[in-house]
Structure 1
Amino acid sequence: MTVEQIYTGCLAQGAYYIVSENEAVIIDPLRETKPYIDRLEKDEVTLKYIFETHFHADFVSGHVDLSRKTGAPIVFGPTANPDFDAIIAKDEQIFEVGKIKIKVLHTPGHTMESSTYLLIDENGKETAIFSGDTLFLGDVGRPDLAQKAASMTQEELAGILYDSLQNKIMPLADDITVYPAHGAGSACGKNMQKETVDTLGNQKKTNYALNQPDKESFVREVLDGLTAPPKYFGMNVAMNKGGYEDFDVILKKGSHPIRSEDFEAVAEDTGALILDTRNAAEFQKGFVPNSINIGLQGDFAPWVGAMIVDVQQPILLVTDVGAEEEAITRLARVGFDNVIGFLEGSFQAWKNSGNEVDTVNRISVKEFASQLKDDSKVIDVRNETEYAAEHVNEAYSKPLVNINEWATNLEKDEHFFLHCAGGYRSMIAASILNSRGIRNFTEVEGGFKAIKETDVPTSNFVCQSKTLK
């Protein structure tokens, strides 16, 4: 028996590949199926089952395509009702794979169909759990995502999650390995550890959610500090439940080169959003007007979901030459399947054709330190917890995720400085503001990490005596 975690850092997501004898299973696969199929062929094994721990909200799973291409059935836990053929398992139902067994433990709470898969080895020993979003390392799945579907309050769902953990997970042996669906950085939890594998015994000792004295305390602590989930989550759930177009079709459609002389007309005719995936340093020096910058070399897919939201939005890509397929793939992972083409020759071709070029005013932290005055306005687009830990004195906390709300209240003639932690998020914000005609700002290269190395006064005390008008 072999168990392999296939971890994707951009999504902080773990898929699992398990082999016994000449049979395999895959748990919570990513959207693109070719790597899994190649691996099955290399190992000369047959995919027997595709297990889904629940209807995922933060990414589109590859279960539908993988089942189409391999013939392996999809397995969901009790109460799941997908719009495609699947095995809806009973609680404690056992599936045999080679010489091992996988036992279904229905663990509702994150969602009502959420299930944990218990691995039993060839000797009959319970060795691991694949806990999905029921149990993370350091946290548990947020219980506020399924409220509409379950017609329950988040408090009721949290109580159900407490019962699932106490009745199904806590009684298991301490030496069992925990393989969660997500790690630190995922929006499906709030307190995840950076590690991606642990023992259940250690989680019983260190996980705050497993150390609450009673259900009431658990509900209160798990719900405390939850921010609103990204708005694209519901659309991903719908795709995971209802099915989607074959990824190969999506890739072929998106891999359509568009000449620089035709690019603007295509954007206008289709209403496409121009998404520039180059890094912030390259983008700020020059870009196609009205482009939105979300760099591939960062948390690309989650930020696309949070900023663009509508998975049906037509998208035109500007990428580094050769990065088109990667961009299309990573967009599809979060359900953005409507890429209609890319700028042939990248931005350089656009520039060489004599087309209009836009830029962002970016300065170094040394320049920021020299230009900052007592009455300067500074906008910090990091999240609230980052800001609360430490920030530039008198800076406004305006998280990037809420830009649609706070951008409308900006004074168009009042200059402000813009920064995040390292420059990735602030360039996203800069590109969005630019596209809306808000240009009276200066973006700070290197963000707060670099600012801390200067003599700019910072504080860990939340002090906002000024308000945006």
Structure 2
Amino acid sequence: MKIEQIYTGCLSHAAYFLESDGEVAIFDPLRDVDSYISKAEAGQAKIKYVFETHFHADFVSGHLELKAKTEADIVFGPTAKPSYEAIVADDGDIFYVGKCMVKVIHTPGHTMESTTYLIFDENGDQSAIITGDTLFIGDVGRPDLAQHVNSELTQDRLARLLFHSLREKIMPLDDHLIVYPNHGAGSACGKMMSKETTDTLGHQKETNYALRKDMTEDEFVSELLSGLTDPPGYFPKNVLLNINGYDHLDAVLIKGKNPLIADHFLKITEDDDVLILDTRNASAFAQGFVPGSLNIGLDGSFANWVGEMISDINQKIVLVTDEGREEESIVRLSRVGYDNTIGYLKGGFESWKNANKKIETAERISAEKLKEIYGESLIIFDVRKNSEFESEHVAGAINVPLNKINFHFDSFPKDRSFIIYCAGGYRSMIAASILKQNGFKDFADVEGGFTEIKKNDLPRTAYSAPTTFL
């Protein structure tokens, strides 16, 4: 038996590849499934099942892609109601993958259909649990997401179900079991996940706050619900895609891999319904970009910030990318359900410049320069999360988190210059591109962000009520 975790850092997502005696099961796959198929073919094995731990909110699963390409059966846990052919298992059902067994353990709480899969090896011994968003390393799944799809599923109700699922279904299992969760640190599906992506169940019983033996149900609910931030707006839309189905990725790629010369690109983008998305890194974007572009770099938490900052999942998108990364951009958009890419700038930004088209730039300054000009009259905005800001920030800075910037343009002055920064320069360039779209011109971004600011020993402070108002 082989269990392999396939981790995708930009989504903090883990899929699992279980192989035994020529048969394979895939758990919680991403939408771009060719790597799973290639891995099975390399081992001369057939993909028999695609197991889903729940209807995911933070990505579009590859279950339908795998079924179409391999004829594998899709398996959900109890109460799931997919709008396509799938096996909806009962609690305790057993599935055979080669000489291994997969047992269904219904663990509602994150969602109603949430299911943990207990893996038995070829000797019939319990080996691991694939827990989805029920149990993370250091955390458990947040219970407030399902209510955005079904208002009857309140966070209190689901939190109480999760309390019982953990104590009655998970904690009685043997300590030696390996815990394989669906996410690690960085995912919005929990609030305090570890950077580690596997652990033993015994160690989690000792260290995970949600598994304390002496915790009452009310204490569990209170601790679980405290400190939850608003989930990204695209989450409910991804849930519905996973329930109802979606276009196959091959069709999305055919539509998106449409090379546009500069003149054609310009004509298409004159339509207000079309968004220019530039996926180059912040430094390249700052040096020159197509006017009106939104910058979200591929080399960062790309899919998460696309979901946060592009409100319409059906938005028509044309791409500006580094040459050779056009398909990667389309695929990574599709992972969170943004399937309406209609083309890309052929030859990248260089072709736009060579065609003598209008360009814009974004000013960046070093932390050293910020230290030189720092003073009481300088207006500084911190676009990190509230929690980051409250931990430590430049003294006098105003906190406007990036995911709220579209609602607070009146916080930024148009008659005075100002500075923006984030942790390292990725989010602040997203903010810079949005400010440029909305007519702000006299501002600069701090290259390297707060990381470089601390190195240069600018005045800093922790939470200060007068400078935080969002």
**TM-score after normalising by structure 2:** 0.98
User: Which of 249, 252, 259 in structure 2 is aligned with 1:257?
Assistant: 259
Shift of 1:310: 1.6
> Cα deviations across residues 83-106 of structure 1 (Å, max 9, x unaligned)?
100000000111111111000000
CA contact (8 A) 1:95 1:103 kept: yes
Q: Name the counterpart of 1:62.
A: 62
Correspondence 1:39-438 to 2 at 5 A: 39-147=39-147, 148-149=149-150, 151-211=152-212, 213-269=215-271, 271-438=273-440
CA contact (8 A) 2:100 2:120 kept: yes
Give identity over the alignment, percent.
54
Distance 2:441 2:138 in 1: 42
Distance 2:332 2:13 in 1: 13
Stretch deviating more after TM superposition (305-314 or 9-18): 305-314
Distance 1:99 1:465 in 2: 63
Distance 2:176 2:16 in 1: 19
Asked if 1:4 is matched to 2:15, the reply is no
Q: Aligned partner of 2:380: which letter?
A: V
Q: Aligned partner of 1:426: which letter?
A: S
Distance 2:241 2:146 in 1: 15
CA contact (8 A) 1:270 1:314 kept: no
Stretch deviating more after TM superposition (450-459 or 2-11): 450-459
Distance 1:424 1:177 in 2: 35
Distance 2:4 2:311 in 1: 32
CA RMSD of aligned residues (A): 1.3
Distance 1:40 1:441 in 2: 52
Shift of 1:409: 3.3
CA contact (8 A) 2:128 2:179 kept: yes
Q: Aligned partner of 1:198: which letter?
A: D
Distance 2:415 2:338 in 1: 36
Shift of 1:154: 0.7
> Cα deviations across residues 209-232 of structure 1 (Å, max 9, x unaligned)?
112611101101111100000000
Distance 1:16 1:150 in 2: 31
Shift of 1:468: 7.3
CA contact (8 A) 2:58 2:189 kept: yes
Distance 1:434 1:416 in 2: 13
- Secondary structure at 1:427 match in 2: helix
Q: Aligned partner of 2:227: which letter?
A: G
> Cα deviations across residues 331-390 of structure 1 (Å, max 9, x unaligned)?
111111100000001001101111100011111111111111112211111111211211
| Residues 107 and 263 of structure 1: CA distance in aligned 2, closer, same or farther (over 3 Å) | same
CA contact (8 A) 2:399 2:467 kept: no
CA contact (8 A) 1:410 1:468 kept: no
Shift of 1:150: 6.0
- Secondary structure at 2:297 match in 1: coil
Distance 1:270 1:433 in 2: 17
- Secondary structure at 2:268 match in 1: helix
Q: Aligned partner of 2:464: which letter?
A: C
| Residues 226 and 259 of structure 1: CA distance in aligned 2, closer, same or farther (over 3 Å) | same
Q: Aligned partner of 1:176: which letter?
A: L
Shift of 1:309: 2.6
Distance 1:109 1:232 in 2: 21
- Secondary structure at 2:423 match in 1: coil
- Secondary structure at 1:465 match in 2: helix
Distance 1:330 1:287 in 2: 21
Q: Aligned partner of 2:323: which letter?
A: V
Shift of 1:410: 2.5
CA contact (8 A) 1:112 1:150 kept: no
Shift of 1:268: 2.1
| Residues 424 and 467 of structure 1: CA distance in aligned 2, closer, same or farther (over 3 Å) | closer
Structure 1: 5+ residue stretches without partners: none
Stretch deviating more after TM superposition (58-67 or 396-405): 396-405
Shift of 1:467: 7.0
CA contact (8 A) 1:395 1:464 kept: no
CA contact (8 A) 1:394 1:464 kept: no
- Secondary structure at 1:351 match in 2: helix
